[in-house]
Copies of this chain bind each other. A is one copy, B any other.
Amino acid sequence: MIKTDAFSTELQELARFAKAISHPARLAILKYLAETKTCISGDISDYLPLSRSTVSQHLNDLKELGLIHGEIDGLKVNYCLCCSSIDDYLKMFETFFESIRSVNVQCVTKTKT
């Protein structure tokens, strides 16, 4: 499988971003980080209805894309949003959907298959 490779890198990158934010837990983490500015992993798993290891995994997904950073501070790890990276992905997102939306198709809404 993995036919994913057959598509342009632009679409692949955008898809990876979308996948990263395609789970409520990860969106909740982003939101929580924005509100608290910075926080440790344990705070997040207390806040979310998920186990520590699961939260750790979600944090990893976000970190792999570069959407967040984790700074080690003794025993704890301070997580924070990586705004520059988020901005880059948002720009990519907007570019794509602007090109989509610029085409003003008169949508036939009568029949929905």
Question: Chain A interface (Cβ within 8 Å of chain B)?
Answer: 3-4, 6-8, 11-12, 14-15, 18-19, 21-28, 30-31, 34-35, 37-38, 48-50, 63, 69-72, 77-78, 80-84, 86-87, 90, 93, 96-97, 99-105, 107-113
Q: Judge whether B50 and A113 touch: CB under 8 Å.
A: no
Q: Which of B77, B80, B105, B113 contacts A70 (CB 8 A)?
A: B113
What is the copy number of this chain in the assembly? 2
* Alpha-carbon distance A85/B35, docked complex (angstroms): 29
Q: Judge whether A18 and B15 touch: CB under 8 Å.
A: no
Q: Within 8 Å CB of A6, what residues of B?
A: 48-49
Q: Judge whether A108 and B24 touch: CB under 8 Å.
A: no
